[in-house]
Amino acid sequence: MFGYVRPRIDVLAAEEMDAYRAAYCGLCRALGKQYGFRARFLVNYDMTFLYLLRSGVRVRAEAASCWCPARGCGRKVCTLDPDGYETVTACTVILCVEKLRDNLRDEGFLRSLPYRFLRLLYRRAYKKAARRLPAFAALTTEQLERLRTLEAAQSPSIDATADAFARIVAGCVADLEDPALRRPMEQVLYQTGRFLYLADALDDLREDCKHEAYNPLRFRFAPNQGELSEQELDYLTQLTDSSVNLAGAALALLPLQTCDRLLENTVYLGFPAVFAAVRAHKFRAKAGLAGIGRRSAKDGNTPKGETE
């Protein structure tokens, strides 16, 4: 989806990095198993975080060597957790297809042609995912319509626009029956969604100003040629730091059995590092897993990285 929810791998233990890679590759495998081969292209870091959060309260799932289409005849270690991935894959398909639809509305006819093609390509997968999670599909449609209303009004409210997207992300655990698990996870994901929206808005600000596209930061700050002042950037950093603290506090309420250090790393170190990189125009959303967090610890920025 966005690619902003990543751990700082330069401070991860080897076994934690292996667990993260296995979860990421397991999500890719599960998408292919449940929604067809082309659904593998929807795998992303943000939804890997969702899987780790949901699975962290259970005993660690089995991992095994699995065929990797990206490596031809090569193999990778994947987490084998069909039940654990079921909701995560459905959320992944719904969110990614809705993002395609949103991109389609933002572009002219010619520039929207690739999005039209991709929407058709994933139409069957979306219908299957929506049948699996009808309430989440409805929530996503409702909140995206709310976002479009705010966009049409050229709303300068960062809180209102970020809230709409954050509610969608929090809805990824609405199926959990135990409130002792669901409520803290909803808070973790709500703050994650808020962070995602702010990071994406800042990352896109230059292009949005150039094309006069909607971005709440344009109307909140009136940036000069797509650039915010240091004071305005400091304000946004404070907002994301608040989300980090609130997400971390909610995470501490969960009875985590696995992935606790990996989840804490992502929230407390990954979020600030990614936002610092976005702020410095050094973030590459498509940087491969091999490139996450490979800058020196002193600057804390996510690198430009290489694709694995």
Per domain, the residue ranges of the chain are 9-204+237-291
Distances (CA, A) of 243 to 37, 45, 235: 35, 18, 13
Distances (CA, A) of 270 to 53, 99, 277: 15, 23, 11
Hey, what are 62's tokens? 């089995």
Q: If one looks up domain 9-204+237-291 in CATH, what number appears? A: 1.10.600
What dihedral angle (degrees, nearest 10) is formed by the CA atoms of 17, 21, 26, 27?
110
Residue-level pLDDT at 298: 35
Residue-level pLDDT at 71: 72
Residue-level pLDDT at 276: 96
Is there a contact between 178 and 254 (Cβ–Cβ < 8 Å)? no
Quote the distance between the C-alpha of residue 232 and its chain's center.
24
Residue-level pLDDT at 73: 67
Residue-level pLDDT at 297: 32
- Identify the CA nearest to 272 among candidates 2, 5, 3, 24: 5
Residue type for 151, please?
E
Hey, what are 276's tokens? 């610092």
Hey, what are 33's tokens? 């198993």
Angle 134-152/158-170 helices, nearest 10 degrees? 170
Residue-level pLDDT at 285: 56
Q: What does the pLDDT profile of the chain (308 residues) look like in tens digits? A: 578 999 999 999 999 999 999 999 999 999 999 999 999 999 999 999 999 999 999 998 999 999 888 876 688 999 999 999 999 999 999 999 988 877 666 665 566 667 667 777 899 999 999 999 999 999 999 999 999 999 999 999 999 999 999 999 999 999 999 999 999 999 999 999 999 999 999 999 999 999 898 999 999 998 998 999 999 999 999 999 999 999 999 999 999 999 999 999 999 999 999 999 999 999 875 444 333 333 333 333 333 332 23
- Identify the CA nearest to 132 among candidates 26, 34, 16, 55: 34
Place of tokens 């959060």: 53
d(CA 104, CA 116): 7
Neighbours of 67 (CB within 10 A): 12
Write down the pTM of the prediction.
0.89
